[in-house]
Amino acid sequence: MNDTIITGNRIILRPITADDTAMILKWRNSDRTVRNFYYRKPVTEEDHAKWLKEKVDKGEVWQYVVILKETDTPIGSVYLQHIDPATLEGETGVFFSEDAPAGQGLATEAVKLLGDEVGFKMLGLLRLNAKVISTNTASRKLHENAGYRLAKEIKGETCTDGEVVDSLYFVREAPVYKCDRDPLIKAKTGKIVKKEEGQFEISVPGSKSITNRALLIAMLAEGESLLKGVLFSDDTESFLSCMESLGIETKIDRKAETVKVKGCAGIIPNTKASLNVGSAGTAARFLTAVLGLTDGGEYRLDSSDQMKKRPMAPLLDSLKELGCEVIYEGEEGFFPFTLKPHGFSKNEVTVDIEKSSQFLSALLIAGPLTKTELSIGIVGTHGLRYVEITRNIMRSFGIETEKCGSADDCASGSQSSCNISYLVKHGTYKAAAYDIEPDASAAAYFYAMSQIKNIPVEIKGLEGSSMQGDIRFPEILRETLASEEPVTVDMGSLSDQALTLAASVIQRKAPTTITGISHIRHQECDRINAIVSNLTKAGIKVTESGDDITIEPGCPKPADIDSFGDHRVAMAFSLLGLSQPGIGILDPCCCSKTFPDYFAYFDEIRKLTKSQQN
């Protein structure tokens, strides 16, 4: 498979040959290489040749010799390995001769060429990663210069000689994803099963909203909890990393999708810590509330640039009202900041949920930390379905809440003013075995595909009794597409799917108006702007009136869709590619926030439905 010569500005990547093996092994076994990598013992030529042949024959490794153009001299070897057809990911690495010219960016150019020309263009991979020992500053700089981002730090990994080191995990995403591409690597997730009568049974990941709520509550509980069906994505990994920084013990089994959490019974082990919540809104709001209402300590919280733009002021104002000191490093009401908690100074508070119901959920979860009952009043007009999810999970871990007031329509998602409050009972969460539901939000994209392509789809393990609001999306979509008249759809109670609906209704014969979505301007991006700009780019007429949008029927034209770094935008607008070749999704790997394998699923179901219809 490694039969292509790749030419860059100053270097050439030539496929490996048998004559290269001895030279590569010399570099591989040099003192400098051994010192900077996890495998700390020499490898024989025979062992290396056997390993390389097996891996190359299986397509798991692509390896090249780096040649400097000016001198036509081989100076090292770059390799792409651990290629996973299910997730469309691979890992890059590099060996360079001790005689190779230093400080000229050759290693950086070689790794970048291998990723761009082989990983992304030839194989159609979505992501490349690299793990670097933290003390290997040269390799760290190389990957940063080659466009990799530091995803996380890993403490205490054991090398082959027994030495324990800290590691840095770097990630680089494909710059563009074309929905009509035909990569050399064939995606097969193992999560899509074709059943009788052409129906597809799809297993989607666990719910992000439920996973992060359950992780936090299990962290605060007394005893060890077992969480099953856990989602592992950027958001949940950020949450787990923060828990580790707080001294919470966990046992993680990603293959089995389980996490065991040894709870702290409401007393955070580390009274001083620095956390980075990434782009996870749940981690940002929930951890802030809990840490801000402990009996003492000092906690610095930072985030991604994306999360720095999202509002935190309503929650932080409520925490200050309850006695927490907040020290801002930049603009007030936004990350980063330091919390200096002093426990609860009062047993009642009001929170503004106009921009996010997560502010209320955060205070509800933290409520049992007080020495008495906590009354939480709310202002603002926001659907409260996610709050009901929070209350249900709290109940599963032994804490009851009471809703006070008569505006029941608030809990069902109405945007009318909510003249209600909540009472949180004092107590300690109790450990539990808890099953996390499959993600109804992730399932919505496949329900939309089902309607667009007229293919029956069943989501395994997701029942109509689900507590997730997005479980209603298939019914709303069916009713909307069935009508031949202009329709208005209030998506306030399941606003994450406003994007999905917008991408689906272009096939209708009449206009569709989507309302109740003003707050989605303040999520990972301005999602109203994302809908309008991307549909317009694809040749679909859209009218924006305040916070409502009206979409005219039409056939999309080829276009590169801007995801704005928002996972929901990337996944929703991939649906345009089902009916129009040439739809490209910029920054597709932003989906790793909640659904890392989405485009592998997309490719597989697109190919399966295409073969079925042929």
- Contact (CB, 8 A) for 85 and 187: yes
Statement: residue 555 has pLDDT above 80: yes
Any residues with CB less than 8 A from the CB of 130 and at least 6 apart, and which?
Answer: 91, 92, 93, 139, 143, 148, 169, 170
Mean pLDDT for the stretch of residues 67-95? 80
What pLDDT was estimated at residue 371? 81
Distance of CA 353 to the CA centre of its chain: 24
Any residues with CB less than 8 A from the CB of 445 and at least 6 apart, and which?
Answer: 500, 571, 572, 574, 575, 598
**pLDDT (tens digit, 9 = 90+) per residue, 100-124?**
676 678 888 888 888 888 888 777 7
What is the Cα–Cα distance from 329 to 337, expressed in whole angstroms? 6
More confident position, 353 or 20: 353
- Sheet of strand 200-202: strand arrangement: 192-194, 200-202, 457-459
- Tell me the CA distances in angstroms from 287 to 264, 316, 337, 554, one per residue in order: 14, 12, 13, 44
More confident position, 409 or 487: 487
Catalytic residue among 116, 234, 490, 496: 496
The burial of 600, by beta-carbon neighbours within 10 Å (0-12 exposed, 13-18 middle, 19 or more buried), is given as buried
Low-confidence winner among 12-16, 207-211, 315-319, 423-427 (lowest mean pLDDT):
12-16
What is the Cα–Cα distance from 240 to 248, expressed in whole angstroms? 9
Average pLDDT, the chain: 86
What is the Cα–Cα distance from 503 to 557, expressed in whole angstroms? 13
At residue 177 the predicted structure's pLDDT band, cuts being 50, 70 and 90, is low
Mean pLDDT for the stretch of residues 203-214? 96
Statement: residue 136 has pLDDT above 90: no
More confident position, 590 or 447: 447
- Helices 208-220 and 358-366: crossing angle in degrees, nearest 10, is 20
| Encoded amino acid at 170, one letter | F
| Residue carrying the six token digits 């276009």 | 559
What pLDDT was estimated at residue 164? 86
What is the Cα–Cα distance from 213 to 215, expressed in whole angstroms? 6
* Percent of the chain topping pLDDT 90: 51
- Contact (CB, 8 A) for 351 and 337: no
What pLDDT was estimated at residue 576? 92
Mean pLDDT for the stretch of residues 2-6? 72
- Contact (CB, 8 A) for 218 and 225: yes
Q: Which domains does the chain have, with CATH numbers?
A: 6-174 (3.40.630.30), 192-203+441-613 (3.65.10.10), 208-435 (3.65.10.10)
The burial of 514, by beta-carbon neighbours within 10 Å (0-12 exposed, 13-18 middle, 19 or more buried), is given as buried
**pLDDT (tens digit, 9 = 90+) per residue, 63-75?**
788 888 878 888 7
Backbone φ and ψ of 421, nearest 5°: -140, 170
At residue 190 the predicted structure's pLDDT band, cuts being 50, 70 and 90, is confident
Mean pLDDT for the stretch of residues 234-260? 93
Statement: residue 470 has pLDDT above 90: yes
Low-confidence winner among 226-240, 383-397, 414-428, 562-576 (lowest mean pLDDT):
414-428
- Contact (CB, 8 A) for 449 and 605: yes
Low-confidence winner among 140-154, 489-503, 505-519 (lowest mean pLDDT):
140-154
Statement: residue 417 has pLDDT above 50: no
Tokens matching residue 93: 């690495």
496 catalytically annotated: yes
More confident position, 313 or 40: 313
What pLDDT was estimated at residue 36? 60
**pLDDT (tens digit, 9 = 90+) per residue, 321-355?**
999 999 999 999 999 999 999 988 899 999 999 88
Of 459, 444, 449, the residue nearest 607 (C-alpha): 449
